[in-house]
Amino acid sequence: MADTSRDRIIRMLGMVTYLEANGPTPVAVLADHFGVSADAATRDLWALGTTGFPPYLHGELFDFDFDALDEGLAVLTESLGVTQVRLSGQEAVALTGALATLVAAGTAPEGAERLLERITGAFGGSVPVTVLAGEDGPSADVRQALAAAITAGRAVRLAYVDANDRRTERVIEPHRLVAIDGIGYVECWCRKADDYRTLRLSRIESADALTEPVSHAPSQARGFDLERTFEATVVLSRSARWALEDLPGAAVTVGDERATVTFGVTDPAWAARRLLAVAPQLVSVEPAALRDALARHADAVLAVQDA
C-alpha cells in the first residue's frame, strides 16, 4: 500500500477518534485496525504529540501518556475535541458506488443496503453516483438459496444455462458470491466438472440446497482463469465499437470513421456471437479462425430466418 500524506492524516485523525471512543488500546491493535506496522503507528502517535493549535503550548497539542506509549499502550489524555473528518465526495463515490454495485449484482452481504442508506444519508444524500440495475439481474430466490447454502456449508443442485445456451443440471459446492465488473457470480466447486467454476448468477434457473456438506475448500484463485486461444483484431465503424470496447483487455484505436479493437478470444463461438450483433458495421475480422466461426453462425441463422 502506497502510504500518502492523505492516508497518514486520515490515520492520525482516526487514531484520535478510536482512542476517544474506545479508551486505552495496545499500539499493536491500533496498528492492525489501521493496517500499518506497529512502528508506523508509534510514529503517528508521537507525531500527534507535537501537533495541535498555534501557538502549540500546553493544552494546545494532542497529548498521550508517553510512558505507557513506551510500553506499547496508547492512552490519549488530550483529544482537543478533534475527531475524524467526513467523507470526501470521491471517497463516498468509491465506497457507495462499490456497495451499490454489490447490491445490484446480487452479491452483497446481509445489511449492505441499510449500511448504504446510512452512509448516503450521512453525506446529505448528494453523493454524485447512481448505480443502475443491469438488464438481467439474478433472481432473489437463487441468490438467497446460494447465500444460505454457503453459510450452512451445503451443496446445491443447480439448473444452469451456459453462455452457449446449453442447459445442465449440476451439483455445486458454493463458496462465495462475487461481483466481477458489476455482474454477479458464484464461486464454487462444480462436481460435474470436477473443478472450480465461477458461474453467472443470472444464468442459474433454480438452486435447491441439498443436505450434503461441502467437501472442497474454496479456491485461492479469484475470478476467472480463462485461457486465451488467440488474439483477434476487428475493424468496425466507430459507432459500433460499444459492442467490443468493454471486453476484458480490449484495446481500442479510434480513427475518424473506424475503430480497431484487439482482444483475447477464449471461445471463438462466443466472440462470433458478439460480432453478429454489429455485423452491418464490421469492416474486417482477423484471424481466419474467428471468420470461420462467424460464417458458421451466420449460415445457421440464414438457414432458419425468413425475411
Partner 1 sequence: MAAADGEIDPAQRLLNLMLALSRTRHRLTRDQIRASVEGYETAPAGVSEAERGRADASFERMFERDKKALRSMGIPLRTITDPAHQDDLGYRIDPDVDMPPLDLTVQDAAILAIAAQYWTSKAMKADARQGYAKLVSAVEHEDGPALPFGGVSTSGSADVVAALAEAASLRQVVSFEYASASSPTRVRTVEPWGIVLRSGVEYLVGWDVDAAAERVFRLVRVQGKVKPRGEPEAFDRPATLPLGSLADDADVATATIAVRPEAGHALRRRGEVVGADDGWDVLEVSYRHADLLRAEVLALAGAARVIEPADLARSVREHALAAAEVARG
Q: Which amino acid is at 55?
A: P
**Least distance from partner 1 to the Cβ atom of residue 67, Å:** 22
- The rounded Cα 1 to chain-centroid distance in angstroms is 18
Q: Does 79 bind partner 1 (CB under 8 A)?
A: no
Name the residue with cell 450452512. Answer: 152
Q: Does 265 bind partner 1 (CB under 8 A)?
A: no
Q: Which one, 47 or 210, has the nearer CB to partner 1?
A: 47
**Least distance from partner 1 to the Cβ atom of residue 305, Å:** 5
d(CA 158, CA 171): 6
Q: Which one, 136 or 195, has the nearer CB to partner 1?
A: 136
DSSP 12-71: HHHHHHHHHHH-SEEHHHHHHHTTS-HHHHHHHHHHHTT-BSTT--TTSB-EE-HHHHHT
Q: Does 55 bind partner 1 (CB under 8 A)?
A: yes
**Part of the chain binding partner 1 (CB under 8 A), chosen from 67-75, 123-131, 189-197, 207-215:** 123-131
- Indicate which single residue of 182, 197, 258, 264 sits in contact with partner 1 (rule: CB under 8 A): 182
Q: Does 100 bind partner 1 (CB under 8 A)?
A: yes
- Indicate which single residue of 68, 73, 93, 289 sits in contact with partner 1 (rule: CB under 8 A): 93
Give exposure, 21-37, as e/b (b: 16+ Cβ within 10 Å): eeeebebebbbeebebe
Grid coordinates standing for 240? 459500433
- Within residues 135-154, the interface with partner 1 by CB under 8 A covers 135-136, 147, 150-151
